[in-house]
Amino acid sequence: MKKAILVVSFGTSYPEVIERCIAPVERAVAVAHPEYEARRAFTSGMIIRKLKSVYGIEIDDIKTALARLSDEGFDEVVCVPTHIIGGFEYDKVYNTVSEYADKMKIKITKPLLHSSDAFAEVIDALNIKNDGVLHILVGHGTEHEGNLIYSAFENKIKSLGYSNVLVGTVECHPDLDKTLENAEKTVYKNVILSPLMLVAGEHAKNDISVEWKNAFEKKGFSVKCDLRGLGEYEAIQKIYSNF
């Protein structure tokens, strides 16, 4: 029986960021499951086209990757999306995987933040301490109902005894203004901004380290940025590998 793992990410148009944030997850999954052949796919067509035109790097979209596996005679495929929440991009992966259910034995793993237990695993993996610093985790955000996960994640963090963690998003709720408002209600004056994203790409470089940092500094906070993508954390890589 031929078995494969397809690790599916939104992607990034920066090759060095692929190597820093995405490839380590793929390697960890492959090492944890040596009986499977590991493959890669991205969901962003724009990123796939840019990588090919600018760098000559060819990466399959998920439909092409699954069709290739089917044509090559794979009997069993585990699709591992690296998405953080169950939003539009995860739905896209799920729906495409469902189309191949009659061609091979196929299953899809859940997004990183999918349950209360998963929330606890992730906060532990980030190694955040009650250290007198306000840690602000900045996710992407989405108009999808899955955006509610960010608030649920923050509530779980607080229930675990961390009063020094807030969760915000770049593109939805809680946005920068709301996160800043919440931060001003705390006793903390020192802030660390970190991406709650697999990849530390454009949002980390432009939104978090510029717009968010400047906004917090204007309100009198002392701000540092930890711009590691989640894919760079060994403990997060292990979570993705555990299925």
Per-residue pLDDT tens for 85-112?
999 999 999 999 999 999 999 999 999 9
Asked if pLDDT for residue 201 goes beyond 90, the answer is: no
pLDDT at site 106: 97
- What average pLDDT does the segment 219-242 reach? 97
Asked if pLDDT for residue 63 goes beyond 90, the answer is: yes
Q: Which fold has domain 116-231?
A: Rossmann fold (3.40.50)
Residues of the chain with CATH 3.40.50.1400: 3-111, 116-231
- What average pLDDT does the segment 115-132 reach? 94
Asked if pLDDT for residue 46 goes beyond 90, the answer is: yes
> 177 burial class (0-12, 13-18, 19+ CB within 10 angstroms)?
exposed
More confident residue, 239 or 200: 239
pLDDT at site 160: 93
Task: Write the pLDDT tens digit of every residue in 16-36.
Answer: 999 999 999 999 999 999 999
Average pLDDT over the chain reads 96
Report yes or no: 81 and 231 within 8 Å, Cβ to Cβ. no
CATH no., domain 3-111: 3.40.50.1400
Catalytic positions, written as ranges: 140
136 closest CA partner among 220, 85, 209: 209
Which range has the worst mean pLDDT, 124-133, 215-224, 226-235? 124-133
Plot region of 130 (φ>0 → left; ψ -120 to 50 → alpha; else → beta): beta
Asked if pLDDT for residue 202 goes beyond 90, the answer is: no
Task: Write the pLDDT tens digit of every residue in 160-200.
Answer: 999 999 999 999 999 999 999 999 999 999 999 999 999 98
pLDDT at site 15: 95
In whole angstroms, give the CA distance from residue 31 to residue 7: 13
- H-helix or E-strand containing 122? helix 116-125
